[in-house]
Copies of this chain bind each other. A is one copy, B any other.
Amino acid sequence: MYFMSVLTDNKPYSKYNGDNYNMGIQERKQREKEMRRKQIMEAAKKVFSAKGFSRATMEEIAGEAELSPGTLYLYFKNKEELHTSLSIDILEYITILMKKIIGKKGIDANEKMEKLKDTFIDVYEYDSMVLINLFHLQSGETLKNLSPEVLEQLKETSADALGAITSIVQEGIDQGLFKERHPVALADIIWATYSGVVLWVDSKRLLNNDKDFVRQTLETAFEIMLKGFEK
């Protein structure tokens, strides 16, 4: 497992921290605020995962976070944005991980694709529920009822994530490894396959009390895709 909690506070703070008293207090406050946010998101994750968006109540999330319902609204405009924040968070993290892969020197596109698959599996295994919520978010109902700002943020993060995949694919084409196809379409297919497998195998598991074959199915899916990409 080469990545840490997405939802635990891992934002880099200014390294230097104490030359100014007010600055310190302000910063501490800032940090506390950030921690509360994470605390709420952590609780929301649990409840949304267990109940789904509609059946989850703000009161239960507040209880889980050991805060009062009112407090939630100091940190998130409403229920929908709290939910979306979870999704954006994981999307951002996936993007960070993918950008690391892109930056890797001395490995070709095939190997990068391998690493991409590993990343996907890791993300899934670390936090399948938030991931599934992310895909749920994609599916219309939520998308239509989002505030413009959050929609914009989601759009950007989303484009960013797709851009990262695209650039790996482009590399493969440039290196003469992959057959020449529209790289964005390929990136779409990669992301769609990932989403699809996670969603589908998960729903099969729910329907039939089946085992969790996501990892295995993702491995096969990528193997097939990679072979299909070849020139």
| Interface residue ranges, A against B (CB under 8 Å) | 49, 51-55, 132, 135-136, 138-145, 151, 154-155, 158-159, 181-182, 185-186, 188-189, 191-197, 199-204, 206-208, 213, 216-217, 220-221, 223-230
Contact = CB atoms under 8 A, between A and B. Distances in A.
Which secondary structure dominates chain A's binding surface? helix
A54, A140, A154 pick with most chain B CB within 10 angstroms: A140
B189 A199 contact: no
A230 B227 CA distance: 9
B55 A189 contact: no
Contacts of A217: 185, 188-189, 192
Given A191-B200, A196-B197, A200-B188, A53 B141 contact: yes
7 contacts: A138-B203, A139-B202, A158-B204, A188-B204, A191-B200, A193-B221, A199-B199
A111 B151 CA distance: 42
Contacts of A49: 140
Given A132-B139, A193-B196, A206 B54 contact: no
Contacts of A135: 139, 199
A192 B181 contact: no
Given A196-B196, A201-B188, A216-B185, A55 B141 contact: yes
B195 A199 contact: yes
A135 B194 CA distance: 14
B197 A192 contact: yes
B207 A197 contact: no
Contact of A52 (B141, B181, B196): B141
Contacts of A193: 189, 192-193, 196-197, 221
Interchain residue pairs A-B with the least CB separation, the first 8: A196-B196, A52-B141, A224-B228, A192-B196, A228-B228, A138-B203, A192-B200, A227-B228
A199 B207 CA distance: 20
